[in-house]
């Protein structure tokens, strides 16, 4: 199948490569010319055979809106635009209506897999009309992990991004619990092998998970996390999850507390936030702040020393 990919960063670039390895014809565009197959979106559209599919993997907000505005003018009836970024689910309806007025389909996809996705596949949460989703199934089948799970047509337009938003909210809570447990173990004189305690939990316990594996990996690299500053960003989905909970009158005390903990990390050097920062760097290659306060680039996916299970990917 032929597809255009807009945005070839850590996620988009690896997704394009996974699709190529599966035999798909991928034409990529990125604002960095060295990563791009074409000079611009207009050339990308011209290179694609109708009916076209264009997958957008650019930052949420204005960059996504500007890209969809341009594609709305360049594409033709019968084409489909896929928003695979972390857009707010409320924006999806606007984009679907905008493109639909020109006869262009729209599908929103929450994508999870981080820097490990090229090797292990991406969990996909899809929203959109069945006719559009069905056309894209060869792409989804190539991107998802092997096996039965890792893909869901979650509902109508907006459902994919809503499901991914809640996924990331849950992730906030799990990481915060691990981080607080690590801080408490570090604070006591009774436990003298904190990394060993976490390693012991990787087998046979009810909290074993890919995040626990990544936590152990982070401690192997920096046993007391002294190389990190206790500062953790939030990329938006946690805030949106809490706001959606307010809108629907659904109590989310754990997720809300985890979001507020990230806010507090920016006021002082929080030991627990060192672990949250380390985990975000491990699973998503997100940038971290060193103990000296310098921002460093996110890590690329390592070889295969920690392989996430299909059911637990970011």
**Range 38-44 average pLDDT:** 96
Q: Which residue has the tokens 């972390």?
A: 86
Mean pLDDT of the chain: 90
Angle at 311 between CA 163 and CA 160, to 5 degrees: 20
Helix axes 159-187, 89-100, angle to 10 degrees: 160
CATH class in words for 164-296: mainly alpha
The predicted-structure confidence for 202-225, as pLDDT tens digits, reads as follows 999 999 999 999 999 999 999 988
Give 312's contacts (C-beta < 8 A, 6+ positions apart): 209, 210, 211
Position 298 scores a pLDDT of: 58
User: Annotated catalytic, 93?
Assistant: no
pLDDT of 93 higher than 60: yes
> Is 2-157 a CATH 3.40.50.720 domain?
yes
Cβ atoms of residues 42 and 75 within 8 Å = no
pLDDT of 126 higher than 80: yes
Choosing from 144, 164, 229, 274, the catalytic residue is: 164
The predicted-structure confidence for 150-199, as pLDDT tens digits, reads as follows 999 999 999 999 999 999 999 999 999 999 999 999 999 999 999 999 99
Alpha-carbon span 153 to 85, nearest angstrom = 16
Strands 123-127 and 105-112 come out as antiparallel
Cβ atoms of residues 121 and 149 within 8 Å = no
Q: Give the closest residue to 277 by CA, choosing from 222, 200, 198.
A: 222
Quickly count: other Cβ atoms within 10 Å of residue 246's Cβ: 12
Cβ atoms of residues 212 and 201 within 8 Å = yes
CA 127 from chain centre, in angstroms, equals: 16
Confidence of residue 292 (pLDDT cuts 50, 70, 90): low
Q: Which residue has the tokens 């982070």?
A: 218
pLDDT of 312 higher than 50: no
Listed by start position, the domains of the chain span 2-157, 164-296
**Verdict on whether the full-model pTM lies above 0.75:** yes
Choosing from 10, 144, 171, 183, the catalytic residue is: 171
Per-residue tokens: 43: 């050339």
Position 311 scores a pLDDT of: 46
283 DSSP 8-state letter: H
Domain pair 2-157 / 164-296, same fold: no
């Amino acid at each position: 199948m032929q597809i255009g990919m807009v945005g070839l960063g850590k996620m988009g670039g690896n997704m394009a490569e996974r699709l190529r390895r599966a035999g798909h014809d991928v034409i990529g565009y990125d604002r960095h010319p060295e990563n791009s197959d074409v000079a611009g979106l207009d050339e990308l559209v011209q290179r694609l055979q109708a009916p076209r599919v264009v997958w957008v993997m650019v930052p949420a907000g204005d960059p996504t809106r500007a890209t969809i505005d341009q594609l709305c003018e360049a594409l033709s009836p019968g084409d489909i635009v896929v928003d695979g970024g972390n857009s707010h689910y409320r924006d999806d309806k606007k984009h679907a209506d905008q493109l639909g007025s020109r006869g262009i389909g729209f599908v929103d996809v929450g994508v999870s897999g981080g820097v490990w996705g090229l090797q292990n596949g991406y969990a996909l949460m899809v929203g959109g009309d069945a006719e559009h989703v069905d056309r894209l199934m060869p792409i989804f089948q190539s991107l998802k992990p092997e096996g039965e799970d890792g893909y869901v047509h979650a509902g109508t337009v907006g459902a994919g991004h809503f499901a991914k938003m809640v996924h990331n909210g849950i992730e906030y809570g799990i990481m915060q619990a691990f981080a607080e447990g690590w801080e408490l173990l570090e604070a006591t004189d009774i436990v003298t092998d904190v990394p060993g305690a976490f390693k012991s939990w990787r087998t046979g316990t009810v909290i074993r998970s890919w995040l626990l594996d990544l936590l152990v990996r982070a401690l192997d690299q920096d046993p007391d996390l002294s190389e990190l500053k206790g500062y953790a960003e939030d990329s938006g989905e946690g805030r949106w999850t809490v706001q959606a909970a307010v809108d629907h009158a659904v109590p989310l005390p754990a997720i809300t507390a985890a979001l507020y903990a990230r806010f507090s990390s920016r006021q002082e050097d929080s030991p627990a936030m060192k672990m949250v920062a380390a985990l975000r760097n491990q699973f998503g290659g997100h940038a971290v702040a060193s103990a000296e306060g310098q921002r460093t680039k996110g890590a690329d996916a390592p070889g295969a020393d920690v392989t996430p299970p299909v059911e637990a990917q970011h």
